[in-house]
Structure 1
Amino acid sequence: MKITVFAATGGIGRHLVDQAVAAGHEVTAVVRRPERLADRPVRVVGADLAADDPTALRTAVAGADAVLSGLGPRSAADFGIAARGTAKIVEAMTRSGVRRIVVVSAAPVGVVPSPGRPHPPKRDPGDGPLMRFLMGPAIRRVLRRHYADLALMEEMLRDSGLDWTVVRPPRLTDKPVTGGYRTAYGRNIRGGLTVSRADVAHLMLHLLDRPESIGQTVGVAN
């Protein structure tokens, strides 16, 4: 399969690249600093999703069977990058005739409002009392701008007409890939507080072969 990976040197992106290569996929990696992937057997396209470079993005996705995105802010200065960058990815895919995309969001986003969904559900059906009444509200207050960005990103995908899947992990760790995580469509994982970046990448790759995941949000946790 020909796969294009955005944010390919990020916490999840680097696992996507390595696992896709190991599985025998033909990988195009999109990064701001191509030299950081000089040692990987992949096609590298230099592009900055914070800038306006549509030609590079169309070059990156042209001919791909699927797009995987680990895009998200690395610091406060990157606020808004998930929605802005995903909008540019969607445009490049639409112009290039590429339909399949799997992206990373976050577990709390299901109850975060966006312009097209100003009144989301008050609680996620997978959240237990601890997450629903204590941890969830506290996390959303602290990271409200980050989650607002992700909620807008998800809205753009819902309206895109593409074959999208959104993966919503809880707190990410740097533990190794296990393949032993739990998943659920349309809800978070009861009692699932963490998952490794490597396992999120593993799930994203496997969702490419699951047509039932198209148009779905997928909760994942250990």
Structure 2
Amino acid sequence: MNVALFGASGATGKHVLAALLAEGITVRALCRNGTALDAFVDELTEVEAEVTVVEGELTSKKAVQKTMRGCDAVICLFGPHPPYTDLFCADATALIVESMHSLNISHLLCQTGAMFGDYPDNRSWAMQEMVDSFQHRHPELAEDRSEQERIVKSSGLQWTLIKPPRLTTGAVNEEIQVGDDLPVGVLSSASRATIAHWLVQELHHPVHIGEALFFLD
């Protein structure tokens, strides 16, 4: 299996990249700094497949399509960093979706987060209050992420949205709770290693097509 990975240099992205390579899944990753990602891969002890690093920007159609060429699925893990002035998720996702159609790739797994979108039934009262406060402080960020989800849902692809709560550095929990109706609260969390492990399983056996999934360790 060949997978295009966008956001490989981030904290979750590195866990996912390591899990894919350990499982023997070939990866093509788009990265601004290819040297740094190559150095990370060189330090991995379990590598059963190859990774090709494509240097470029998420705004470049040429770079995005080069990353996807020959792939069976696409994973998106990118997101902005504080102070959230560089908002790009919706535009980047739209370009990725367009490129997937051009290259006849249908399987898309995209991570956003439990804080984004209109999911009051999945949040405790306190969690929803925190979401409302965050969206009030960062309305442009909230809209960018919500638009990203709308693009995925209307893409016509075999999509899955991944919406973990607070991400941690914990170990893999193979018994993690996953569901589109799963309630999460202020103290809910999921480890990046667990998300990576789950993604590998979903790639092999996609059973959550067309679902926006919440996670709870």
Q: Give the 3 Å change call, closer, same or farther, for CA 191–74 of structure 1 in structure 2.
A: closer
Write out aligned runs for 1:67-216 (5 A). 67-76=74-83, 79-111=86-118, 124-132=120-128, 134-189=129-184, 193-216=188-211
TM-score, normalised to structure 2, is 0.86
The percentage of aligned residue pairs carrying the same residue is 27
Unaligned ranges ≥5, structure 1: 112-122
* TM superposition shift of 1:22: 0.5
Unaligned ranges ≥5, structure 2: 42-49
Aligned with 1:46 (options 35, 40, 55): 55
Work out the CA distance in 2 between the residues paired with 1:58 and 1:221.
Answer: 34
Query: Structure 1: which amino acid aligns with 2:121?
Result: P
Query: Structure 2: which amino acid aligns with 1:60?
Result: T
RMSD: 2.1
Work out the CA distance in 1 between the residues paired with 2:100 and 2:141.
Answer: 25
Query: Structure 1: which amino acid aligns with 2:149?
Result: E
Contact persistence 1:167–1:204 (CA under 8 A): no
- 1:4 equivalent in structure 2: 4
Contact persistence 1:188–1:218 (CA under 8 A): no
Work out the CA distance in 2 between the residues paired with 1:140 and 1:91.
Answer: 28
Secondary structure (helix, strand or coil) at the match of 2:214 reads strand
- Larger mean CA deviation between 26-35 and 143-152 belongs to 143-152
Work out the CA distance in 2 between the residues paired with 1:180 and 1:4.
Answer: 27
Secondary structure (helix, strand or coil) at the match of 1:43 reads strand
* TM superposition shift of 1:33: 0.7
Give the number of equivalent residue pairs.
Answer: 208
* TM superposition shift of 1:200: 1.9
Query: Structure 2: which amino acid aligns with 1:171?
Result: R
Please list every run of at least 4 consecutive aligned residues from structure 1 whose deviation after the TM superposition is greater than 6 angstroms. Answer: none
Work out the CA distance in 2 between the residues paired with 1:200 and 1:155.
Answer: 22
